[in-house]
Structure 1
Amino acid sequence: MKRMITLLYVTALTGCIPLCAQRTASVSLDPETKFQKIDGFGGCGMNGQWADVYTQEQVDLLWGPDGMGYNIMRIRINPDESNWKSYVNAVKWAKAHGATVFASPWTPPYRFKVGAEQTWGESSNHGHINTDSIESYAKWLERYRQFMEDQGAAIDILSVQNESDYDPEGYEGCLYTVDEMTRMVTALRQHLSPECKVMAPECFGWDSHKYNRELVKSAAMRNSIDIWGNHIYGVNDMTYVDYVRSLTKRPMWMTEYIFD
């Protein structure tokens, strides 16, 4: 099909009033040719202790058909089980609008880590996943998924770790080597309900540490990771996106970018 597009050119001339010139261009569109599949757009809310951040009015404004029309919601998995209920209502409201919901832990519970700095409860900064705790943590994540389902707020996708390659200052984080991530995804696949998809590695940057290029070398990871999630900070080599997708045949999502 063809569409006529009118382009307005505004030229600022020194000492003169800006001039506006109208030109017409012809563009050919072929709806049968697909270059990229976009699964959708969404948002995530954080505030204070990262709990109860959405009212129903806010959810309707962002995920409702008469609002922004988002179709993806990202939430944080609280390392303290007593606070898992924090997002239940927001997830219910978003899913009532047809949203896909995925959950990311900023940190595993403190007891599952090594070299971490405990802050409050099971929350902690820094450190690595304790490889001796990987099986226990995978079962813990399945318990979280089951809890949300029991509340009528089922999670569609579970991410292994927010920014698995980045050690932040002043807030929760947990580092995973590529080997640790491989072992964690394997354990999660074993214990997580097959109804829930697995996202990994959700790195700080698209390719800032070549993390994805190493992870994708594993045939097990190419078959086990349903969605390759990453953020878009730092140094980014966009060519690896097509490289990873060509090997995995799985979608890749950009799951965080902040405009402060």
Structure 2
Amino acid sequence: MGLCLAWGCSDDDDNVMNTGEREGSYALFLKNELQVSGHAGTTMAVVQWSEAEWEISLGEGDLVTAVSPMSGGAATDLHQNVRLKIDYTVNGGREAKSQVLHLTNKTTGEVSDLTIRQGLAYETTALDIDASVRHQPVVGFGGMYNPKIWTGSNVLSTEDMNTLYGPGGLGYSVLRLMIYPNEADWSTDVAAARLAQENGAIVFACPWVAPDALTELVKVGDNDVPHLKAENYAAYADHLVNYITYMRANGVNLYAISVQNEPDMEFMTWTPEELLTFVKQYGAKIRATGVKLMAPEACGTSPDFTDPFINDAEAFAQTDIVVGHLYQGFINTAQAGYEKDRHDYVCGLYSRIGGKTWWMTEHLFNDGETETDPALWQFRTWDYNLTHLGKEIHMCMEGYCSAYVYWYLKRFYGMLGDSDQRSPAGEGEVTKNGYILAHYAQYATGMTRIGATSDNSSVMATAYTNEAGSEVTIVLLNLSTDTQSVEIPLSGATVKEAVETDADRDMVPAETGKTDTGIYVMANANSIVSVRLAL
């Protein structure tokens, strides 16, 4: 909300009424015109009067919402000034507005007018969409099914899964499972995986640790960490193949399987050379099941693990999808340093992998979760969600990523709220993170990213097209504090649908319309907007 003084809003002195040494009864506005911003706010005007009772009335229009005072003066008082407080609403349209205030001298009947003029409440951003420039295919978006051996009772119900993957739900298209070391636990995730698959999602799985019989404990720093014995590589490959076979027998056709979740961490430790050796020796056996092999899935998409797989022709031939996580930084690239270097490294993978794809298969945002003061739980705020999860997905897509997979689907920092007191949504209710991911899941899955540039650094956009080239979708992040009219110069395009999420609304219809060169879509301040266009 803004506040401006009538005598300070314009340098146009021609709008000032000069009463001079006027004698007799008068009631006049000091200015006859005021300019206000397109946003809701308050301005001030001055009434000069003498020997008059006066009153204010509003002319036609809905710009002004309140004036105080609405009347005043006295027939016996001389040469007085009164300030008026004028409240006005936001200009939600695409044209300037105005409204006249009438000041009536009740003594003489004379009327003085003040015209309030209001500009537009938005800025204009232009997008350049080039469907002839094609980048990576986009497989989908989703998250990790809560593993029962870690999350206890905080598992996803059938209702939760339908919210995420079912008809009329969020439209998620990828589900990640844990390959439990104990085969007796494998049945736990079957029903959820089948539900996701039946609704068009792909399902892949990752092991954290091999069965105890195959491992030994080794020292990593001060900790004893499981390590797969080299003589048990064949048995471990059989363990993974058995999982594939079991899931298939129970109606789940896995799309891909990972060799190891975060081999550089302390779930089950590997050296890059050990992981490379395993893939070269047993990758073909796993892939013979018809399931794609993913590797190396390091914690921060570490070059120490990722480069050996790209550079070794034998191992790379057995690696269908290059995968990694983003726990060592990705989105803060304004300054040179480690995080920008890691971002640039990850975004450079696609050009090195010869037509294969890279996936981001795990990350979460939970800043402030250990604080006792709820005001410090950053993960609950919309600005944090938009500038972390929203921005990271955008940057991954710009970085040629083909799938984005979050950590726990149901957690206080996840896609659905849980029973934790820190949860921003009730148990099973969709969080803001959940809606952000849904924008990409519904508007980019199964598409190919195409050229998209914005002339406004605060409005970030990625665009996608279907195989036939008959449809274009766009996902916009408006990180500015101003509403934006985003102009999309695609001649002949028609809007099939457009939705917006901001701090107060979740995937509600967004305003769109035609321009001389294409279409426009309105994006409120700090929002994410998705558009589907028919060409």
Q: Is the 8 A contact 1:232 1:254 kept in 2?
A: yes
More strand by share: 2
Q: Is the 8 A contact 1:159 1:198 kept in 2?
A: yes
Q: What's the counterpart of residue 40 of structure 1?
A: 140
In structure 2, C-alpha distance between the alignment counterparts of 1:254 and 1:64, rounded to whole Å: 23
Are residues 1:130 and 2:234 paired? no
Q: Structure 2: which amino acid aligns with 1:202?
A: E
State how 1:197-236 maps to structure 2 within 5 Å: 197-207=292-302, 210-235=304-329, 236=339
SS in 2 for 1:111: helix
In structure 1, C-alpha distance between the alignment counterparts of 2:250 and 2:167, rounded to whole Å: 24
Q: What's the counterpart of residue 125 of structure 2?
A: 25
State how 1:61-210 maps to structure 2 within 5 Å: 61-115=163-217, 126-167=225-266, 173-192=267-286, 193-207=288-302, 210=304
Higher mean Cα deviation, 22-31 or 51-60?
Answer: 51-60
Are residues 1:49 and 2:149 paired? yes
Deviations 1:96-141 (A, max 9, x none): 0011100011111111112169xxxxxxx72222111111110111
1:254 aligns with one of 360, 366, 377: 360
Deviations 1:147-181 (A, max 9, x none): 110011221110111111112xxxxx111111111
In structure 1, C-alpha distance between the alignment counterparts of 2:217 and 2:140, rounded to whole Å: 38
SS in 2 for 1:115: strand
Q: Is the 8 A contact 1:241 1:252 kept in 2?
A: no
Gaps of 5+ in 2: 1-36, 42-86, 91-119, 330-338, 367-535
SS in 2 for 1:161: coil
SS in 1 for 2:130: coil
SS in 1 for 2:135: coil
Deviations 1:213-247 (A, max 9, x none): 23322011221111111110025512223543333
Q: Is the 8 A contact 1:223 1:248 kept in 2?
A: no
Q: What's the counterpart of residue 170 of structure 1?
A: none
Pick the structure with greater CA Rg. 2
SS in 2 for 1:85: helix
Q: Which 4+ residue blocks in structure 1 deviate beyond 6 angstroms?
A: none
In structure 2, C-alpha distance between the alignment counterparts of 1:245 and 1:26, rounded to whole Å: 28
Q: Is the 8 A contact 2:323 2:358 kept in 1?
A: yes
Q: Is the 8 A contact 2:241 2:289 kept in 1?
A: no
Gaps of 5+ in 1: 1-7, 118-124, 168-172
How far does residue 58 in structure 1 lie from its aligned partner after superposition? 1.1
How far does residue 21 in structure 1 lie from its aligned partner after superposition? 3.9
Q: Is the 8 A contact 2:293 2:320 kept in 1?
A: yes
How far does residue 206 in structure 1 lie from its aligned partner after superposition? 2.2
SS in 1 for 2:134: coil
In structure 2, C-alpha distance between the alignment counterparts of 1:128 and 1:145, rounded to whole Å: 22
Q: Structure 1: which amino acid aligns with 2:350?
A: R
Q: Is the 8 A contact 1:74 1:102 kept in 2?
A: yes
TM-score by length of 2: 0.41
Q: Structure 1: which amino acid aligns with 2:127?
A: V
